[in-house]
A and B are shown apart, each in its own frame.
Chain A
Amino acid sequence: MTHPYWVAFTSIVYKEVRRFLRIWPQTLLPPAITMVLYFVIFGNLIGRRIGDMGGFDYMQFIVPGLIMMTVITNSYGNVSSSFFSNKFQKSIEELLVSPVPNWIILSGFVVGGVARGLACGLIVMLLSLWFTHLPISNLAITVSVILMTAVVFSIAGLINAIFATKFDDVTIVPTFILTPLTYLGGVFYSVSLLPDVWQWISKLNPILYMVNTFRYGIIGVSDIPIGFAYFMLFVFVVVLGGWAMYLLNTGRGLRS
């Protein structure tokens, strides 16, 4: 007989996936349109004038970063908006009254966020093939780093939603923290082009490590040590996961 926890977990994942598929014009279509514009304007029009970056043509250089940017924003956005919407409509109470352990609630929402992040990342990757060639230098690194990144940002999205008390609160972090960190995370340039002090500052940005490791998996070049990037991702998963569990266990923002 199927374990009740497994049924509960698949129920949450099924609901989350069904939600983002049902509203695909809000979830799957926008990253496709935005990224095609990036490919055309930055990759094709401006990139032609820039020439090579890190030994690869500019389009090939920016595509991994743009895929990663898509995965980050969509994993985060899926969980933060879905969980907050559950709070707002009080439908989170369906979970709170039921015997679903908090780690299953966390896992279910995170897998939902990862699913949307990867779905959007895959769409952008397929669209990028119209513009450039992606050699996939190391499949294991490519897949593992994108999965871990999606997990990290899904958990972060859930924490954001737990603290949020109004819809504005779930847009503040993406607008004022995630987007600047992503743009400054080496999506459009190699940090080796920056003056030393800015290189040092850039290396405090965790997204730089995620983008570069993913880029290494696809085209085989990176500005940072790959081993450290994995260590950092692991620490983020553990610390953020622990924090999210603490918040769920104490009922912060969920139970009065």
Chain B
Amino acid sequence: MANALEISNLVKVYDNGFKALNGIDLTVPQGDFFALLGPNGAGKSTSLGIVSSLVNKTSGTVKVNGFDLDSQREQVKRSLGVVPQEFNFNAFEKVLDIVVQQAGYYGLPRKLALTRAETYLKQLDLWEKRDTAARMLSGGMKRRLMIARALVHEPKILILDEPTAGVDIEIRRSMWRFLNELNRQGTTIILTTHYLEEAETLCPNLAIIGKGNIIAQGPTKALLKDKDRSTFVADFTASITELPPTLVSDYGATLVEGGSIEFHTRQGQTLNEVFACFNEHDLEAISIRPKTNRLEELFVDLTTESE
């Protein structure tokens, strides 16, 4: 079976001369839940924009479900559902009209379009708002409307560009459940996000893009396994004013505000050893927490290295 997405040597140079993509290669297998991560301006949206036919590529090849973007664009478009980063519907149209209208563009007869629209609007808790003008919806509802619209022709691959940007935690988690279920039913999902927790929770595979280059790609667990440094912050019964030299030399410890200690562990070091060091110096730890999640650290490390 063909891969859901195959990008080869993709280059994009904008009219103003800015080179957004330097010949990237990317493969997403069928049924995957894939994250494309990167800082602002790294080339995430440009890559997905090219795949979605919203941006013209300069060179390279893109295949979606085995269909070539240049010679089989119509089949590529039929395979994809696209949820862009910015709201891109007519704000004066009603919710139901927006979804049914989009179904029409994919050739779905009106009766079927209405049935599908009802299904997805209900699944995304928007059915009660079907006769409301889109401009009256909250930010979270607008995002869900774009997901319903992208699914109305039941695409094999769903592309989401920062789908949970600006939505509250409760809605974000309900969207995660929805997307997980959709993926479980066989839809390949490719998303970009700035919430690295989101990528770590949802996506078994990911790629990190920086300055128009893919700087890491593979299974999320394997990438995190390769990461050899984790940062923690420990709080103590008494405020710490002086650091034991062993903690500084072995664990890169520094004092942080409030008398706590920030330290790193590398591959081969255990937290038990750190606690032993605390005991040795009569430091009574009352809590310890990761400073950032591991993916966030990996992301920062890799994107900083690429600069």
Contacts and interface: CB of A to CB of B under 8 A. Distances in A.
A255 interface: yes
Interface string A225-256: 00000000000000000000000000100011
A256 B14 contact: yes
Interface in A84-102: 85-86, 89-91, 93-101
A136 B108 CA distance: 42
B48 to A, nearest CB: 11
Interface size class of B (residues with CB under 8 A): 20 to 34
Contacts of B56: 251, 255-256
Nearest to B76: A99
B86 A8 contact: no
B180 interface: no
Interface of B: 14-15, 49, 52-56, 73-75, 77-78, 80, 82, 84, 86-91, 97, 101-102, 104-110, 149
A96 B15 CA distance: 20
A2 interface: yes
Nearest to B82: A97
Query: Binding site of B, secondary structure by majority: helix, strand, loop or mixed?
Result: loop
A145 to B, nearest CB: 32
Interface extent on A, as a size class?
A: 20 to 34
Given A91-B89, A91-B90, A99-B105, 7 more contacts: A2-B109, A18-B97, A86-B90, A89-B89, A94-B105, A99-B106, A251-B56
A7 B102 CA distance: 11
B105 A11 contact: yes
A89 B82 contact: no
Given A89-B88, A256-B14, A95 B54 contact: no
26 contacts: A2-B109, A7-B108, A7-B110, A8-B105, A8-B106, A11-B104, A11-B105, A12-B105, A89-B90, A90-B84, A90-B86, A91-B89, A93-B54, A93-B82, A94-B89, A94-B101, A94-B149, A96-B53, A96-B54, A97-B54, A98-B102, A98-B106, A99-B74, A99-B77, A99-B105, A256-B55
Interface string A51-82: 00000000000000000000000000000000
A11 B93 CA distance: 14
Contact of A7 (B82, B86, B91, B107): B107
Contacts of A98: 77, 102, 105-106
Interface string A1-28: 1111101101110110010000000000
A100 to B, nearest CB: 5
Contact of B107 (A8, A18, A90, A97): A8
Nearest to A1: B109
Nearest to A22: B92
B88 A5 contact: no
Contacts of B53: 96-97, 255
Contacts of B82: 93, 97
Contacts of A7: 104, 107-110
B216 to A, nearest CB: 27
Contacts of B109: 1-2, 7
Contacts of A91: 88-90
Given A255-B54, A255-B55, A94 B88 contact: yes
B172 to A, nearest CB: 23
B219 to A, nearest CB: 29
A233 to B, nearest CB: 31
Nearest to A100: B105
A141 B299 CA distance: 70
Contact of A15 (B15, B80, B101, B107): B101
A5 B107 contact: yes
B89 A4 contact: no
A97 B55 contact: no
Contacts of A10: 104
B88 A90 contact: yes
Nearest to B105: A98
Contacts of A14: 104
Most A CB within 10 A of own CB, among B91, B110, B149: B110
Contacts of B14: 256
A98 B75 CA distance: 10
A3 B106 CA distance: 10
A93 B86 CA distance: 11
Instruction: Name which of B52, B54, B73 has the most chain A CB atoms within 10 A of its CB.
Output: B54
Nearest to A6: B107
B105 A93 contact: no
Contacts of B78: 99
